[in-house]
Amino acid sequence: MNSLKASASSLRSTVFLLMILIFTKPINSKDFLQCMASKFSTANVYTKESTLYSSLLLKSQKNPRWLNSTLAFKPLYIVTPSQEPEIGVTVLCSREHGLQVRVRSGGHDYEGLSYLSRAHFVLIDLVHLREIRINMEDQTLWVQSGATLGELYYNIAQRSSTYGFPAGVCPTVGVGGHISGGGLGVLTRKYGLVADHVMDARLVDVNGRVLDRKLMGEELFWAVRGGGGASFGVITAWKIKMVPVPLTVTVFTVHKTLEQGANKLVDRWQQIADKLPDDLFIRIIVQNVGGGSYGVKKTVQASFNSMFLGNVQSLISVMELIFPEMEVGAKDCKEVSWIESILYFAGHPSGTSREVLLDRDHQLYKSYFKAKSDFVNQIIPETALQQAWERQLQVDEAYMVMEPLGGMMNHIPETQLAFPHRGGNLYNIQYIVKWKVNEAEEARRHIHWVRMLHAFMSPYVSKSPRTAYFNYRDLDLGINGNNGTTSYLEARVWGTKYFKNNFERLAKAKRRIDPSNFFRDEQSIPPFG
Ligand SMILES: Cc1cc2nc3c(=O)[nH]c(=O)nc-3n(C[C@H](O)[C@H](O)[C@H](O)COP(=O)(O)OP(=O)(O)OC[C@H]3O[C@@H](n4cnc5c(N)ncnc54)[C@H](O)[C@@H]3O)c2cc1C
């Protein structure tokens, strides 16, 4: 018996040692480079010694707090493919030489997962894959994943004043991450998510093959619309059906501080925001104002930031009927084209040239931040919101962004795509805290603050599970282990928060396309089983 125990224990030690050897196998940098050179002689590969390595790595990361991270490695190599076969070769050479890959389109991942990893890895940066081909005859377009939303908006507007695209508000966000995670924006109440309008996609799989919708099959095509791309392969391009927009839309923003009755107005908004006509979108951005050296009292302000798909006159009639408390008048409103409304929501002053949408590196959207999210399915008591905003005064720069749902979102079943947050949700909330100095203590203090706010809100938001939006990535919800062995059951802890019951179907799609779990990260979907 004792000898059996001893041999079992020595077997365990040997396995453990073997695992260490496998996972710490020294990386011979020549092997990967030789593999790339032999399979694709013109591949664009950068090593840490390349002059362009640092600027490439830093260029499109939007949350530079990760620059100082000691918890993760920077990429051993950066590959910037300009064709799909180059991606296939990168995947094969990475697998052959024990390296993982991370894929980056626009670099907006809140937790830096597209450009940092706890394992040695190759970064596939799609910055050169950003072709946009528009077909006005059938109102469809093909866009490569490395394009930004701004580039896409700009190109559509150059071809048409009456067609648009229902995606997010930040122009530097990458098409690749955004669409694969769902894509919420100003047109969501009218048309749903951007992922709802995807007709086809192209994906490089774990064997380096390029698959379109027909070749990948409907399960995988379902999964990459809302389930994120990073678990399944490298999505190179998307075919999208554009949506009609009027020649003239109306935008307005009404600001109210706590002293001016912001809480009463927000309370009223909660009752109607998801029931407004589908043509009307009113989101709320709550932030601190005042303070500083001029003796102006620091307080909280709610900004009702809105777009109506019609002219001022019709908007005012609608508002008088359903939201008279806001007292919106013509003086608050501006009639603009759809593309000008994009500039408005992106925070550009009136008169800014639309060419600014082509600036992928615009500094406006770079900051050190941590964010968390919630979906709300019953009205939050006024007193609870008041307390949340009092907490907000404890930090310098924090935002609570409340985005209305309802409208078209109520007509799409939870299982239609991997993104499940449809009917029954009134709105979602994003809690964002920012800081100015990239130091560990500053980060710790602010992250603690936003976690406490999130904890405070728990009685008032969705429950069992408390849901969150995958594109507002939050590693606090749970993470996979480092070696790819996290099981489906273990990952359910965070997976059902993003995907509810769709998580199981996602894991089954994963098992079919990538059973060895090559494409993985801290929140990738493990193969079912
Ligand atoms: C300033 C700002 C504003 C935002 N505004 C909105 C908004 O209005 N609405 C909204 O819904 N979201 C918004 N987001 C969130 C945004 O949609 C997500 O962060 C999205 O994932 C970013 O995509 P990306 O390509 O820029 O990011 P990346 O960091 O490049 O990628 C994000 C994730 O997707 C994976 N990925 C990227 N490209 C591919 C690909 N081609 N194939 C496979 N996997 C891929 C990455 O590996 C990573 O896991 C905003 C984010 C920021 C920072």
Half-sphere exposure of 418 (CA within 13 A, CB side): 37
31 Ramachandran zone, left/alpha/beta (phi>0; psi -120 to 50): alpha
Query: Measured between alpha carbons, how far is residue 207 from residues 45, 88, 234, 237 in Å?
Result: 20, 7, 11, 18
Matching residue, tokens 């996290």: 486
Kindly give the number of the ligand 1 atom that is closest to the alpha carbon of 115.
29
Kindly give the number of the ligand 1 atom that is closest to the alpha carbon of 193.
11
At residue 136, the 3 state secondary structure works out as: coil
- Residue 252 to residue 272: CA distance in whole angstroms: 18
Kindly give the number of the ligand 1 atom that is closest to the alpha carbon of 365.
1
Encode 397-433: b = buried (16+ Cβ within 10 Å), e = exposed.
Answer: ebbbbbbbbbbbbbeeeeebbbbbbbeebbbbbbbbb
Kindly give the number of the ligand 1 atom that is closest to the alpha carbon of 183.
11
Instruction: Average the pLDDT over 313-332 and give the result.
Output: 96
- Residue 182 to residue 228: CA distance in whole angstroms: 8
Q: What is the pLDDT of residues 499-516, one digit of tens each?
A: 999 999 999 999 999 999
Q: How far is the CA of 183 from the centre of ligand 1 (A)?
A: 9
18 — pLDDT class (breaks 50, 70, 90): very low
Half-sphere exposure of 222 (CA within 13 A, CB side): 19
Cβ contact 154:353 at 8 Å = no
Q: What is the pLDDT of residues 339-371, one digit of tens each?
A: 999 999 999 999 999 999 999 988 777 789 999
Instruction: Average the pLDDT over 154-170 and give the result.
Output: 97
Strands 121-125 and 77-79, by their bridges, are: parallel
Kindly give the number of the ligand 1 atom that is closest to the alpha carbon of 523.
49
Q: What is the pLDDT of residue 30?
A: 78
40: tokens are 């694709």
In terms of pLDDT, which residue wins out, 192 or 293? 192
> Which residue's CA is the closest to the ligand 1 atom numbered 34?
177
Q: How far is the CA of 174 from the centre of ligand 1 (A)?
A: 6
Q: What is the pLDDT of residues 244-279, one digit of tens each?
A: 999 999 999 999 999 999 999 999 999 999 999 999
Q: What is the pLDDT of residues 433-487, one digit of tens each?
A: 999 988 889 999 999 999 999 999 999 999 999 999 999 999 999 999 878 899 9
At residue 330, the 3 state secondary structure works out as: helix
331: tokens are 């003086």
* DSSP secondary structure letters along 392-420: HTTSSEEEEEEEE--GGGGGS-TTSSS--
Q: Which helix (H) or strand (E) holds 431?
A: strand 427-435
Instruction: Average the pLDDT over 143-171 and give the result.
Output: 97
* DSSP secondary structure letters along 38-52: HH-TT--EEETTSTT
Cα-Cα-Cα-Cα dihedral of 84, 86, 90, 96, to 10°? 110
Average pLDDT value for the chain: 92
182 Ramachandran zone, left/alpha/beta (phi>0; psi -120 to 50): left
- Residue 426 to residue 445: CA distance in whole angstroms: 31
Q: What is the pLDDT of residues 92-104, one digit of tens each?
A: 999 999 999 999 9
Nearest to 170 by CA among 314, 30, 345: 345
Cβ contact 420:502 at 8 Å = yes
Kindly give the number of the ligand 1 atom that is closest to the alpha carbon of 103.
47
**Residue to mutate, 84, 144, 178, ligand 1, most ligand atoms under 8 Å from C-beta:** 178
Break the chain down into helix, strand, coil percent, rounded to 5: 40, 20, 40
**Residue to mutate, 60, 61, 66, 109, ligand 1, most ligand atoms under 8 Å from C-beta:** 109
Q: How far is the CA of 521 from the centre of ligand 1 (A)?
A: 15
**Is the confidence at residue 179, as pLDDT, over 90?**
yes
Matching residue, tokens 């962004």: 401
Q: What is the pLDDT of residues 368-406, one digit of tens each?
A: 999 999 999 999 999 999 999 999 999 999 999 999 999
- Residue 223 to residue 495: CA distance in whole angstroms: 13
Q: How far is the CA of 472 from the centre of ligand 1 (A)?
A: 8
> Which residue's CA is the closest to the ligand 1 atom numbered 8?
168
Instruction: Average the pLDDT over 322-348 and give the result.
Output: 97
| All structural domains of the chain | 31-128 (3.30.43.10), 132-245+473-513 (3.30.465.10), 249-336+367-460 (3.40.462.20)
292 — pLDDT class (breaks 50, 70, 90): low
Residues lining ligand 1, CB < 6 A?
62, 102-110, 113-114, 126, 145, 168-170, 173-174, 176-178, 180-181, 183-185, 228-230, 234-235, 365, 471
> Which residue's CA is the closest to the ligand 1 atom numbered 43?
229
- Residue 47 to residue 103: CA distance in whole angstroms: 16
**Residue to mutate, 58, 105, 494, ligand 1, most ligand atoms under 8 Å from C-beta:** 105
Cα distance from N-terminal residue to C-terminal residue, the chain: 34
Q: What is the pLDDT of residues 27-53, one digit of tens each?
A: 666 799 999 999 998 889 999 999 999
Instruction: Average the pLDDT over 12-18 and give the result.
Output: 36
DSSP E strand stretches across 292-390: 296-308, 333-336, 368-376
At residue 1, the 3 state secondary structure works out as: coil
> Which residue's CA is the closest to the ligand 1 atom numbered 9?
168
